[in-house]
Chain A
Amino acid sequence: MLELQHVSFEVNDEGNGKEILRDISLTIPDGALTVITGPNGGGKSTLAKLIAGIITPTSGKILFDGEDITTMSITDRAKKGIGFAFQQPVRFKGIQVFDLIKLATGEKLSSVDACKYLSAVGLCARDYINREVNASLSGGELKRIEIATVLAKASKLSVFDEPEAGIDLWSFQNLIEVFEDMRRTISDSSILIISHQERILNIADEIIVLKEGQLQYCGPKEEVLPKLNGTDSSIPGCGKGMLKKGEDQKC
Protein backbone atom coordinates (compact mmCIF):
# COMPACT_ATOMS: atom_id res chain seq x y z
CA MET A 1 0.00 0.00 0.00
CA LEU A 2 1.25 3.45 -0.93
CA GLU A 3 0.35 6.48 1.09
CA LEU A 4 1.00 10.14 0.34
CA GLN A 5 0.75 12.53 3.28
CA HIS A 6 0.47 16.26 2.54
CA VAL A 7 2.81 16.01 -0.43
CA SER A 8 3.70 19.25 -2.23
CA PHE A 9 6.13 19.83 -5.06
CA GLU A 10 7.46 23.18 -6.13
CA VAL A 11 9.76 24.19 -8.97
CA ASN A 12 11.75 27.35 -9.38
CA ASP A 13 10.21 29.35 -12.19
CA GLU A 14 12.41 32.37 -12.98
CA GLY A 15 13.15 33.02 -9.34
CA ASN A 16 9.57 32.42 -8.20
CA GLY A 17 8.39 29.21 -6.61
CA LYS A 18 5.73 27.55 -8.73
CA GLU A 19 3.62 24.91 -7.06
CA ILE A 20 3.01 21.85 -9.25
CA LEU A 21 1.37 19.75 -6.53
CA ARG A 22 -0.27 21.15 -3.43
CA ASP A 23 -0.93 19.21 -0.24
CA ILE A 24 -1.82 15.87 -1.77
CA SER A 25 -2.89 13.15 0.64
CA LEU A 26 -4.11 9.87 -0.76
CA THR A 27 -3.80 6.10 -0.53
CA ILE A 28 -3.17 3.61 -3.32
CA PRO A 29 -4.65 0.40 -1.92
CA ASP A 30 -3.31 -3.12 -2.45
CA GLY A 31 -5.16 -5.53 -4.69
CA ALA A 32 -6.62 -2.73 -6.80
CA LEU A 33 -6.16 -0.91 -10.07
CA THR A 34 -6.07 2.84 -9.47
CA VAL A 35 -6.22 5.40 -12.26
CA ILE A 36 -5.07 9.00 -11.87
CA THR A 37 -6.73 11.29 -14.36
CA GLY A 38 -7.41 14.97 -14.89
CA PRO A 39 -6.66 17.80 -17.30
CA ASN A 40 -3.24 18.31 -18.86
CA GLY A 41 -0.84 20.19 -16.63
CA GLY A 42 -2.67 19.04 -13.50
CA GLY A 43 0.42 17.36 -12.00
CA LYS A 44 -0.30 13.70 -12.82
CA SER A 45 3.11 12.82 -14.26
CA THR A 46 4.83 14.77 -11.48
CA LEU A 47 2.99 12.62 -8.97
CA ALA A 48 4.12 9.44 -10.77
CA LYS A 49 7.74 10.65 -10.71
CA LEU A 50 7.49 11.43 -6.99
CA ILE A 51 6.31 7.86 -6.37
CA ALA A 52 9.16 6.35 -8.43
CA GLY A 53 11.71 8.58 -6.67
CA ILE A 54 12.80 10.45 -9.80
CA ILE A 55 11.97 13.67 -7.97
CA THR A 56 11.59 14.36 -4.23
CA PRO A 57 8.69 16.27 -2.66
CA THR A 58 9.26 19.80 -1.38
CA SER A 59 7.24 18.82 1.66
CA GLY A 60 5.16 15.91 2.87
CA LYS A 61 5.80 12.18 3.21
CA ILE A 62 5.50 9.08 1.02
CA LEU A 63 4.98 5.75 2.79
CA PHE A 64 5.23 2.38 1.09
CA ASP A 65 3.85 -0.51 3.15
CA GLY A 66 4.22 1.72 6.19
CA GLU A 67 7.87 2.58 5.52
CA ASP A 68 8.86 6.21 4.89
CA ILE A 69 10.41 6.24 1.40
CA THR A 70 10.30 10.03 0.90
CA THR A 71 14.06 10.39 0.48
CA MET A 72 14.79 6.85 -0.71
CA SER A 73 16.71 6.48 -4.03
CA ILE A 74 15.14 5.24 -7.26
CA THR A 75 17.16 2.01 -7.02
CA ASP A 76 16.09 1.26 -3.44
CA ARG A 77 12.44 1.95 -4.26
CA ALA A 78 12.71 -0.38 -7.26
CA LYS A 79 14.19 -3.06 -5.00
CA LYS A 80 11.38 -2.50 -2.47
CA GLY A 81 8.90 -3.24 -5.27
CA ILE A 82 8.00 -0.11 -7.19
CA GLY A 83 7.98 -0.37 -10.99
CA PHE A 84 7.66 2.56 -13.36
CA ALA A 85 6.77 2.71 -17.06
CA PHE A 86 7.88 5.96 -18.67
CA GLN A 87 5.49 8.07 -20.71
CA GLN A 88 8.29 8.57 -23.20
CA PRO A 89 10.39 5.42 -23.20
CA VAL A 90 14.16 5.75 -23.25
CA ARG A 91 16.26 4.52 -26.17
CA PHE A 92 19.57 2.70 -25.72
CA LYS A 93 22.19 2.13 -28.38
CA GLY A 94 23.41 -1.44 -28.32
CA ILE A 95 21.13 -2.75 -25.55
CA GLN A 96 18.76 -5.36 -26.92
CA VAL A 97 15.14 -5.92 -25.96
CA PHE A 98 16.18 -9.23 -24.38
CA ASP A 99 18.86 -7.49 -22.26
CA LEU A 100 16.34 -4.98 -20.94
CA ILE A 101 13.78 -7.64 -20.03
CA LYS A 102 16.50 -9.71 -18.36
CA LEU A 103 17.59 -6.70 -16.30
CA ALA A 104 13.95 -6.09 -15.36
CA THR A 105 13.46 -9.61 -14.00
CA GLY A 106 16.75 -9.33 -12.13
CA GLU A 107 17.59 -12.97 -12.73
CA LYS A 108 18.73 -15.34 -15.42
CA LEU A 109 16.05 -15.64 -18.01
CA SER A 110 15.65 -17.83 -21.05
CA SER A 111 14.68 -16.11 -24.26
CA VAL A 112 11.48 -18.22 -24.27
CA ASP A 113 10.44 -16.67 -20.95
CA ALA A 114 11.40 -13.21 -22.17
CA CYS A 115 9.22 -13.72 -25.24
CA LYS A 116 6.24 -14.28 -22.97
CA TYR A 117 6.36 -10.63 -21.87
CA LEU A 118 6.60 -9.38 -25.44
CA SER A 119 3.66 -11.50 -26.54
CA ALA A 120 1.68 -10.07 -23.63
CA VAL A 121 2.07 -6.57 -25.06
CA GLY A 122 1.13 -7.71 -28.54
CA LEU A 123 4.57 -7.88 -30.11
CA CYS A 124 5.69 -10.82 -32.17
CA ALA A 125 8.44 -11.89 -29.80
CA ARG A 126 10.66 -13.55 -32.39
CA ASP A 127 10.91 -10.31 -34.39
CA TYR A 128 11.77 -8.12 -31.44
CA ILE A 129 13.74 -10.09 -28.86
CA ASN A 130 17.12 -9.38 -30.50
CA ARG A 131 16.36 -5.87 -31.68
CA GLU A 132 18.27 -2.98 -30.19
CA VAL A 133 16.18 -0.60 -28.09
CA ASN A 134 17.24 2.27 -30.33
CA ALA A 135 15.83 4.76 -32.79
CA SER A 136 15.02 1.99 -35.29
CA LEU A 137 11.95 1.15 -33.22
CA SER A 138 8.79 3.19 -33.67
CA GLY A 139 7.22 5.12 -30.79
CA GLY A 140 4.48 2.50 -30.41
CA GLU A 141 6.93 -0.41 -30.42
CA LEU A 142 9.08 1.28 -27.78
CA LYS A 143 6.03 1.92 -25.67
CA ARG A 144 5.05 -1.73 -25.69
CA ILE A 145 8.60 -2.79 -24.84
CA GLU A 146 8.55 -0.30 -21.98
CA ILE A 147 5.34 -1.87 -20.66
CA ALA A 148 6.86 -5.35 -21.13
CA THR A 149 9.83 -4.40 -18.91
CA VAL A 150 7.46 -3.34 -16.14
CA LEU A 151 5.46 -6.58 -16.52
CA ALA A 152 8.73 -8.52 -16.33
CA LYS A 153 9.77 -6.69 -13.16
CA ALA A 154 6.58 -7.96 -11.46
CA SER A 155 6.50 -5.16 -8.90
CA LYS A 156 4.37 -4.84 -5.81
CA LEU A 157 3.29 -1.44 -7.18
CA SER A 158 3.49 -0.91 -10.95
CA VAL A 159 3.11 2.68 -12.12
CA PHE A 160 2.30 3.39 -15.78
CA ASP A 161 2.55 6.97 -16.97
CA GLU A 162 0.11 7.41 -19.87
CA PRO A 163 0.56 3.94 -21.33
CA GLU A 164 -1.82 4.75 -24.19
CA ALA A 165 0.32 7.65 -25.50
CA GLY A 166 1.82 6.68 -28.84
CA ILE A 167 -0.14 3.44 -29.16
CA ASP A 168 -2.28 3.15 -32.27
CA LEU A 169 -6.01 2.76 -32.21
CA TRP A 170 -6.05 -0.95 -33.08
CA SER A 171 -3.48 -1.90 -30.46
CA PHE A 172 -5.32 -0.05 -27.76
CA GLN A 173 -7.68 -2.96 -27.15
CA ASN A 174 -4.64 -5.22 -26.57
CA LEU A 175 -3.34 -2.76 -24.04
CA ILE A 176 -6.63 -2.78 -22.15
CA GLU A 177 -6.46 -6.58 -22.11
CA VAL A 178 -2.90 -6.43 -20.69
CA PHE A 179 -4.15 -4.30 -17.80
CA GLU A 180 -7.23 -6.47 -17.31
CA ASP A 181 -4.96 -9.53 -17.09
CA MET A 182 -2.74 -7.76 -14.59
CA ARG A 183 -5.81 -6.79 -12.61
CA ARG A 184 -7.02 -10.42 -12.52
CA THR A 185 -3.74 -11.73 -11.16
CA ILE A 186 -3.05 -8.80 -8.90
CA SER A 187 -3.38 -10.54 -5.45
CA ASP A 188 -1.67 -8.26 -2.91
CA SER A 189 0.08 -6.00 -5.39
CA SER A 190 -1.32 -2.86 -6.98
CA ILE A 191 -1.40 -1.04 -10.31
CA LEU A 192 -1.38 2.71 -10.79
CA ILE A 193 -2.11 4.11 -14.24
CA ILE A 194 -1.95 7.75 -15.27
CA SER A 195 -4.44 8.05 -18.11
CA HIS A 196 -6.91 10.20 -19.98
CA GLN A 197 -8.68 7.26 -21.56
CA GLU A 198 -12.24 6.48 -20.60
CA ARG A 199 -11.72 2.80 -21.36
CA ILE A 200 -8.87 2.68 -18.87
CA LEU A 201 -11.02 4.54 -16.32
CA ASN A 202 -13.69 1.89 -16.91
CA ILE A 203 -11.44 -0.94 -15.74
CA ALA A 204 -10.31 0.97 -12.62
CA ASP A 205 -11.26 0.09 -9.07
CA GLU A 206 -10.28 3.49 -7.74
CA ILE A 207 -10.06 6.84 -9.51
CA ILE A 208 -8.09 9.90 -8.45
CA VAL A 209 -8.67 13.23 -10.20
CA LEU A 210 -5.93 15.86 -10.08
CA LYS A 211 -6.61 19.38 -11.25
CA GLU A 212 -4.27 22.34 -11.06
CA GLY A 213 -2.00 20.47 -8.68
CA GLN A 214 -4.74 19.61 -6.22
CA LEU A 215 -6.74 16.53 -5.44
CA GLN A 216 -10.21 17.04 -6.84
CA TYR A 217 -11.82 13.64 -6.38
CA CYS A 218 -10.63 10.35 -4.97
CA GLY A 219 -12.65 7.19 -4.45
CA PRO A 220 -14.17 4.07 -6.01
CA LYS A 221 -14.87 4.27 -9.73
CA GLU A 222 -18.62 4.08 -9.20
CA GLU A 223 -18.50 7.26 -7.13
CA VAL A 224 -15.94 9.28 -9.06
CA LEU A 225 -16.80 8.51 -12.68
CA PRO A 226 -20.31 10.08 -12.61
CA LYS A 227 -18.80 13.26 -11.14
CA LEU A 228 -16.44 13.55 -14.08
CA ASN A 229 -19.19 13.76 -16.68
CA GLY A 230 -20.09 17.31 -17.47
CA THR A 231 -17.08 18.82 -15.71
CA ASP A 232 -13.98 20.20 -17.35
CA SER A 233 -12.09 17.22 -15.99
CA SER A 234 -14.32 14.96 -18.03
CA ILE A 235 -13.08 13.01 -20.98
CA PRO A 236 -14.49 14.17 -24.32
CA GLY A 237 -16.87 11.62 -25.74
CA CYS A 238 -14.96 11.34 -28.98
CA GLY A 239 -11.57 10.72 -27.40
CA LYS A 240 -8.95 8.96 -29.42
CA GLY A 241 -8.92 5.22 -29.14
CA MET A 242 -12.57 4.96 -28.23
CA LEU A 243 -13.86 4.19 -31.68
CA LYS A 244 -14.61 0.66 -32.63
CA LYS A 245 -13.29 -0.67 -35.91
CA GLY A 246 -15.49 0.62 -38.72
CA GLU A 247 -17.24 3.13 -36.50
CA ASP A 248 -17.55 6.72 -37.76
CA GLN A 249 -16.08 9.56 -35.85
CA LYS A 250 -18.97 11.93 -35.18
CA CYS A 251 -17.23 15.00 -33.88
Chain B
Amino acid sequence: MLNLDAASDRLLEEVADLHKVPVGAFNIRANGKAVARNTTANIDIVQKEDGSGIDIKIAPGTKNESVHIPVVLTASGIKETVYNDFYIGEGADVVIVAGCGIDNCGPKDSEHDGIHRFYVGEGAKVKYVEKHYGSGEGTGKRILNPGTEVYMEADSYMEMEMVQIKGVDDTVRDTKAELKAGAKLIVRERLMTHGSQRAISNYRVDLNGEGCTCDVVSRSVARDDSYQKFDAILTGNAPCSGHTECDAIIMDNGKILAVPGLEANDVDAALVHEAAIGKIAGEQLIKLMTLGLTEQEAEEQIINGFLK
Protein backbone atom coordinates (compact mmCIF):
# COMPACT_ATOMS: atom_id res chain seq x y z
CA MET B 1 0.00 0.00 0.00
CA LEU B 2 2.43 2.68 1.10
CA ASN B 3 5.63 0.69 0.60
CA LEU B 4 6.15 0.43 4.33
CA ASP B 5 7.49 -2.70 6.00
CA ALA B 6 5.19 -5.57 6.88
CA ALA B 7 5.18 -4.69 10.60
CA SER B 8 4.02 -1.14 9.81
CA ASP B 9 1.26 -2.40 7.52
CA ARG B 10 0.05 -4.72 10.27
CA LEU B 11 0.12 -1.92 12.85
CA LEU B 12 -1.82 0.40 10.53
CA GLU B 13 -4.46 -2.24 10.20
CA GLU B 14 -4.66 -2.65 14.00
CA VAL B 15 -4.85 1.02 14.91
CA ALA B 16 -6.72 2.55 12.00
CA ASP B 17 -8.38 -0.40 10.22
CA LEU B 18 -6.37 0.63 7.18
CA HIS B 19 -5.91 -2.03 4.56
CA LYS B 20 -5.05 0.41 1.81
CA VAL B 21 -4.52 4.11 1.29
CA PRO B 22 -7.47 5.75 3.04
CA VAL B 23 -10.10 7.83 1.31
CA GLY B 24 -10.14 11.50 2.26
CA ALA B 25 -7.55 13.44 4.17
CA PHE B 26 -4.73 11.61 5.90
CA ASN B 27 -1.27 11.93 7.36
CA ILE B 28 0.62 8.77 8.08
CA ARG B 29 3.67 8.99 10.30
CA ALA B 30 6.16 6.13 10.56
CA ASN B 31 9.30 6.05 12.70
CA GLY B 32 9.35 9.78 13.31
CA LYS B 33 8.63 10.95 9.74
CA ALA B 34 5.54 11.73 7.71
CA VAL B 35 5.43 9.11 4.96
CA ALA B 36 2.17 10.00 3.24
CA ARG B 37 -0.25 12.87 3.27
CA ASN B 38 -3.38 13.85 1.43
CA THR B 39 -5.58 16.90 1.76
CA THR B 40 -9.02 17.61 0.34
CA ALA B 41 -10.84 20.77 -0.71
CA ASN B 42 -12.21 21.10 2.82
CA ILE B 43 -9.51 19.58 4.97
CA ASP B 44 -5.99 20.94 5.01
CA ILE B 45 -3.06 19.39 6.81
CA VAL B 46 0.04 21.55 7.31
CA GLN B 47 3.30 21.01 9.06
CA LYS B 48 3.86 23.29 12.07
CA GLU B 49 6.64 25.78 11.43
CA ASP B 50 8.74 24.50 14.30
CA GLY B 51 8.33 20.94 13.01
CA SER B 52 6.70 19.75 16.24
CA GLY B 53 3.61 18.35 14.56
CA ILE B 54 0.76 19.18 12.22
CA ASP B 55 -2.27 21.44 12.08
CA ILE B 56 -5.44 19.93 10.68
CA LYS B 57 -7.87 22.55 9.48
CA ILE B 58 -11.40 21.50 8.69
CA ALA B 59 -13.46 24.14 6.88
CA PRO B 60 -16.81 25.23 8.35
CA GLY B 61 -19.71 23.17 7.06
CA THR B 62 -17.58 20.20 5.92
CA LYS B 63 -19.85 17.16 5.95
CA ASN B 64 -19.24 13.42 5.87
CA GLU B 65 -15.49 13.60 5.48
CA SER B 66 -12.83 11.79 7.42
CA VAL B 67 -9.25 12.38 8.52
CA HIS B 68 -6.85 9.55 9.31
CA ILE B 69 -3.65 10.38 11.19
CA PRO B 70 -2.14 7.09 12.34
CA VAL B 71 1.37 6.76 13.74
CA VAL B 72 3.51 3.64 13.69
CA LEU B 73 6.86 2.92 15.30
CA THR B 74 8.77 -0.18 14.26
CA ALA B 75 12.34 0.87 15.07
CA SER B 76 13.45 0.24 18.65
CA GLY B 77 14.56 3.20 20.75
CA ILE B 78 12.52 6.00 19.16
CA LYS B 79 11.17 8.62 21.54
CA GLU B 80 9.03 11.37 20.10
CA THR B 81 6.53 13.98 21.19
CA VAL B 82 4.16 15.23 18.53
CA TYR B 83 1.68 18.09 18.74
CA ASN B 84 -1.33 17.84 16.46
CA ASP B 85 -3.94 20.58 16.50
CA PHE B 86 -7.37 20.15 14.98
CA TYR B 87 -9.42 23.19 14.04
CA ILE B 88 -12.94 22.03 13.29
CA GLY B 89 -15.02 24.72 11.60
CA GLU B 90 -18.55 25.68 12.56
CA GLY B 91 -21.22 23.20 11.60
CA ALA B 92 -18.75 20.60 10.28
CA ASP B 93 -19.53 16.90 10.69
CA VAL B 94 -16.42 14.72 10.46
CA VAL B 95 -14.77 11.51 11.60
CA ILE B 96 -11.18 11.64 12.84
CA VAL B 97 -9.24 8.41 13.21
CA ALA B 98 -5.97 8.59 15.11
CA GLY B 99 -4.15 5.77 16.81
CA CYS B 100 -0.64 4.58 17.40
CA GLY B 101 0.97 1.22 17.01
CA ILE B 102 4.41 0.31 18.33
CA ASP B 103 6.27 -2.82 17.33
CA ASN B 104 9.37 -3.06 19.45
CA CYS B 105 11.63 -6.02 18.82
CA GLY B 106 14.72 -4.40 20.27
CA PRO B 107 16.17 -3.73 23.70
CA LYS B 108 15.47 0.01 23.85
CA ASP B 109 12.24 1.63 24.90
CA SER B 110 10.03 3.10 22.15
CA GLU B 111 7.79 5.96 23.12
CA HIS B 112 5.25 8.12 21.33
CA ASP B 113 3.63 10.98 23.17
CA GLY B 114 0.91 12.42 20.98
CA ILE B 115 -0.65 15.65 22.16
CA HIS B 116 -3.93 16.31 20.36
CA ARG B 117 -5.77 19.58 20.76
CA PHE B 118 -9.26 19.94 19.36
CA TYR B 119 -10.92 23.28 18.79
CA VAL B 120 -14.49 22.28 18.00
CA GLY B 121 -16.45 25.11 16.36
CA GLU B 122 -20.01 26.09 17.14
CA GLY B 123 -22.50 23.40 16.19
CA ALA B 124 -19.77 21.12 14.82
CA LYS B 125 -19.95 17.36 15.23
CA VAL B 126 -16.87 15.16 15.59
CA LYS B 127 -16.41 11.46 16.03
CA TYR B 128 -12.89 10.70 17.17
CA VAL B 129 -11.48 7.17 17.27
CA GLU B 130 -8.11 6.44 18.84
CA LYS B 131 -6.65 2.98 19.10
CA HIS B 132 -3.40 2.02 20.74
CA TYR B 133 -1.63 -1.22 20.12
CA GLY B 134 1.74 -2.72 20.91
CA SER B 135 3.55 -5.80 19.66
CA GLY B 136 7.06 -7.21 19.39
CA GLU B 137 9.13 -9.52 21.52
CA GLY B 138 11.94 -7.11 22.43
CA THR B 139 12.84 -6.21 26.01
CA GLY B 140 12.40 -2.49 25.25
CA LYS B 141 9.16 -1.06 26.56
CA ARG B 142 6.33 0.22 24.37
CA ILE B 143 5.23 3.49 25.88
CA LEU B 144 2.35 5.75 24.82
CA ASN B 145 1.42 8.91 26.66
CA PRO B 146 -1.46 10.56 24.86
CA GLY B 147 -2.56 14.02 25.87
CA THR B 148 -5.91 15.22 24.60
CA GLU B 149 -7.38 18.67 25.03
CA VAL B 150 -10.84 19.47 23.80
CA TYR B 151 -12.26 22.98 23.59
CA MET B 152 -15.91 22.86 22.66
CA GLU B 153 -17.84 25.88 21.44
CA ALA B 154 -21.58 26.27 21.96
CA ASP B 155 -23.80 23.42 20.78
CA SER B 156 -20.90 21.37 19.49
CA TYR B 157 -20.78 17.59 19.85
CA MET B 158 -17.83 15.29 20.26
CA GLU B 159 -17.78 11.55 20.67
CA MET B 160 -14.44 9.98 21.57
CA GLU B 161 -13.75 6.29 21.38
CA MET B 162 -10.42 5.38 22.95
CA VAL B 163 -9.22 1.82 22.81
CA GLN B 164 -6.09 0.16 24.15
CA ILE B 165 -6.47 -3.58 24.19
CA LYS B 166 -3.04 -5.07 23.88
CA GLY B 167 0.68 -4.73 24.17
CA VAL B 168 1.28 -1.22 25.51
CA ASP B 169 3.60 -1.44 28.54
CA ASP B 170 3.13 1.96 30.01
CA THR B 171 0.59 4.65 29.35
CA VAL B 172 -0.49 7.85 30.99
CA ARG B 173 -3.51 9.30 29.28
CA ASP B 174 -4.44 12.85 30.13
CA THR B 175 -7.71 14.17 28.77
CA LYS B 176 -8.95 17.68 29.44
CA ALA B 177 -12.10 19.27 28.12
CA GLU B 178 -13.88 22.60 28.42
CA LEU B 179 -17.49 22.84 27.34
CA LYS B 180 -19.52 25.90 26.48
CA ALA B 181 -23.31 26.19 26.49
CA GLY B 182 -25.18 23.28 24.94
CA ALA B 183 -22.00 21.35 24.10
CA LYS B 184 -22.01 17.58 24.50
CA LEU B 185 -19.02 15.34 25.11
CA ILE B 186 -19.24 11.55 25.07
CA VAL B 187 -16.20 9.43 25.94
CA ARG B 188 -16.04 5.65 25.66
CA GLU B 189 -12.78 4.17 26.86
CA ARG B 190 -11.91 0.49 26.59
CA LEU B 191 -8.74 -0.75 28.15
CA MET B 192 -7.07 -4.06 28.81
CA THR B 193 -3.74 -4.43 30.53
CA HIS B 194 -1.75 -7.61 31.06
CA GLY B 195 1.70 -8.72 32.16
CA SER B 196 3.24 -5.99 34.29
CA GLN B 197 1.68 -3.13 32.31
CA ARG B 198 0.58 0.10 33.87
CA ALA B 199 -2.16 2.40 32.57
CA ILE B 200 -3.21 5.68 34.10
CA SER B 201 -6.20 7.54 32.75
CA ASN B 202 -6.90 11.06 33.95
CA TYR B 203 -9.93 13.08 32.91
CA ARG B 204 -10.61 16.71 33.79
CA VAL B 205 -13.82 18.07 32.34
CA ASP B 206 -15.02 21.59 33.02
CA LEU B 207 -18.70 22.08 32.28
CA ASN B 208 -18.80 25.82 31.87
CA GLY B 209 -21.88 26.63 29.78
CA GLU B 210 -25.56 26.31 30.47
CA GLY B 211 -27.05 23.03 29.29
CA CYS B 212 -23.75 21.35 28.44
CA THR B 213 -23.43 17.61 29.12
CA CYS B 214 -20.66 15.10 29.48
CA ASP B 215 -20.65 11.32 29.76
CA VAL B 216 -17.37 9.47 30.36
CA VAL B 217 -17.57 5.69 30.53
CA SER B 218 -14.53 3.48 30.98
CA ARG B 219 -14.67 -0.28 30.72
CA SER B 220 -11.46 -2.01 31.60
CA VAL B 221 -9.86 -5.32 32.41
CA ALA B 222 -6.63 -5.72 34.40
CA ARG B 223 -5.00 -9.14 34.11
CA ASP B 224 -1.79 -10.73 35.43
CA ASP B 225 0.19 -8.21 37.51
CA SER B 226 -1.00 -5.08 35.70
CA TYR B 227 -2.12 -1.86 37.30
CA GLN B 228 -4.71 0.72 36.23
CA LYS B 229 -5.84 3.99 37.65
CA PHE B 230 -8.96 5.81 36.50
CA ASP B 231 -9.13 9.34 37.81
CA ALA B 232 -12.00 11.44 36.52
CA ILE B 233 -12.93 14.85 37.82
CA LEU B 234 -15.97 16.73 36.55
CA THR B 235 -16.48 20.34 37.50
CA GLY B 236 -19.92 21.83 36.99
CA ASN B 237 -19.69 25.60 36.76
CA ALA B 238 -23.14 26.15 35.23
CA PRO B 239 -26.52 24.41 34.99
CA CYS B 240 -25.24 21.22 33.36
CA SER B 241 -25.19 17.46 33.69
CA GLY B 242 -22.24 15.13 33.90
CA HIS B 243 -21.70 11.42 34.41
CA THR B 244 -18.56 9.35 34.79
CA GLU B 245 -18.40 5.60 35.12
CA CYS B 246 -15.58 3.16 35.73
CA ASP B 247 -16.63 -0.41 35.20
CA ALA B 248 -13.74 -2.75 35.70
CA ILE B 249 -12.88 -6.43 35.89
CA ILE B 250 -9.81 -7.60 37.76
CA MET B 251 -8.18 -10.97 37.17
CA ASP B 252 -5.11 -12.76 38.57
CA ASN B 253 -3.12 -10.15 40.52
CA GLY B 254 -4.46 -7.16 38.60
CA LYS B 255 -5.02 -3.97 40.55
CA ILE B 256 -7.31 -1.04 39.77
CA LEU B 257 -7.78 2.25 41.53
CA ALA B 258 -10.83 4.35 40.64
CA VAL B 259 -10.84 7.91 41.93
CA PRO B 260 -14.16 9.66 41.61
CA GLY B 261 -14.12 13.43 41.64
CA LEU B 262 -17.11 15.71 41.28
CA GLU B 263 -17.19 19.42 41.96
CA ALA B 264 -20.45 21.33 41.64
CA ASN B 265 -20.16 25.10 41.66
CA ASP B 266 -23.68 25.78 40.47
CA VAL B 267 -26.87 24.74 42.21
CA ASP B 268 -28.22 23.36 38.93
CA ALA B 269 -25.20 21.23 38.16
CA ALA B 270 -26.19 17.54 38.26
CA LEU B 271 -23.14 15.31 38.49
CA VAL B 272 -23.00 11.55 38.94
CA HIS B 273 -20.10 9.15 39.35
CA GLU B 274 -20.32 5.38 39.28
CA ALA B 275 -17.53 2.89 39.84
CA ALA B 276 -17.59 -0.86 40.09
CA ILE B 277 -14.53 -3.10 40.28
CA GLY B 278 -14.61 -6.82 40.76
CA LYS B 279 -13.71 -10.19 39.36
CA ILE B 280 -15.90 -11.94 36.80
CA ALA B 281 -19.13 -13.00 38.49
CA GLY B 282 -19.09 -16.72 39.24
CA GLU B 283 -22.63 -17.14 37.94
CA GLN B 284 -21.59 -15.73 34.53
CA LEU B 285 -18.90 -18.39 34.27
CA ILE B 286 -21.34 -21.10 35.40
CA LYS B 287 -23.95 -20.06 32.82
CA LEU B 288 -21.47 -20.31 29.95
CA MET B 289 -20.09 -23.58 31.33
CA THR B 290 -23.61 -25.05 31.29
CA LEU B 291 -23.54 -24.26 27.55
CA GLY B 292 -20.42 -26.44 27.22
CA LEU B 293 -17.62 -23.87 27.45
CA THR B 294 -14.59 -24.51 29.64
CA GLU B 295 -13.91 -22.02 32.42
CA GLN B 296 -11.15 -20.43 30.33
CA GLU B 297 -13.33 -20.17 27.22
CA ALA B 298 -16.11 -18.66 29.34
CA GLU B 299 -13.69 -16.05 30.72
CA GLU B 300 -12.57 -15.10 27.22
CA GLN B 301 -16.17 -14.71 26.02
CA ILE B 302 -17.07 -12.55 29.01
CA ILE B 303 -14.00 -10.31 28.58
CA ASN B 304 -14.47 -10.00 24.81
CA GLY B 305 -18.10 -9.03 25.28
CA PHE B 306 -17.27 -6.58 28.05
CA LEU B 307 -14.69 -4.80 25.90
CA LYS B 308 -16.64 -4.96 22.64
- The interface of chain A, by Cβ under 8 A from chain B, is 52, 54, 73-75, 78-79, 82-84, 86, 89-90, 92-96, 99-100, 103-104, 106, 149, 153
Contact = CB atoms under 8 A, between A and B. Distances in A.
Contacts of B284: 90, 92
A149 B289 CA distance: 12
Interface band, chain B: 20 to 34
Interface string B287-299: 1111111110000
Given A74-B286, A103-B301, A94 B291 contact: no
Contacts of B304: 94
A92 B290 CA distance: 15
A86 B287 CA distance: 8
**Main secondary structure on chain B at its contact with chain A?**
helix
Given A92-B302, A92-B305, A96-B305, 7 more contacts: A52-B290, A75-B289, A86-B287, A90-B286, A93-B219, A94-B219, A94-B308
Nearest to A159: B290
Nearest to B292: A78
Contact of B305 (A73, A75, A95): A95
Given A54-B286, A103-B288, A94 B305 contact: yes
B283 to A, nearest CB: 5
A94 B307 contact: yes
B281 interface: yes
5 contacts: A78-B291, A92-B284, A92-B302, A95-B302, A99-B305
Nearest to B287: A90
A103 B308 CA distance: 16
Contacts of B306: 93-94
B247 interface: yes
Given A94-B306, A94-B307, A95-B301, A75 B287 contact: no
A78 B305 contact: no
Contacts of B219: 93-94
A106 B290 contact: no
Most buried by B among A73, A74, A83, A93: A74
Given A90-B281, A103-B288, A75 B293 contact: yes
B292 A153 contact: yes
A93 B305 contact: yes
Nearest to B281: A90
B300 to A, nearest CB: 11
A17 to B, nearest CB: 23
A213 to B, nearest CB: 23
A134 to B, nearest CB: 10
Contacts of A106: 291-292
A99 B291 CA distance: 12
B191 to A, nearest CB: 14
B98 to A, nearest CB: 24
A52 B287 CA distance: 10
Contacts of B307: 94
User: 3 shortest A-B CB distances, which residue pairs?
Assistant: A94-B305, A95-B305, A78-B292
Contact of A84 (B281, B290, B295, B305): B290
Interface string B217-228: 001000000000
Most chain B CB neighbours (cut-off 10 Å) among A73, A75, A89, A153: A75
B301 A83 contact: no
Nearest to A82: B290
B265 to A, nearest CB: 32
Q: Taking each of B286, B290, B292, which has the highest tally of chain A beta carbons within 10 Å of its own beta carbon?
A: B290
Contacts of B305: 92-96, 99
For B247, B283, B287, B308, the residue with the greatest tally of chain A CB atoms inside 10 Å of its CB is B287
A84 B308 CA distance: 27
Contact of A74 (B281, B290, B302): B290
A54 B282 CA distance: 11
Contacts of A153: 291-292
B62 to A, nearest CB: 32
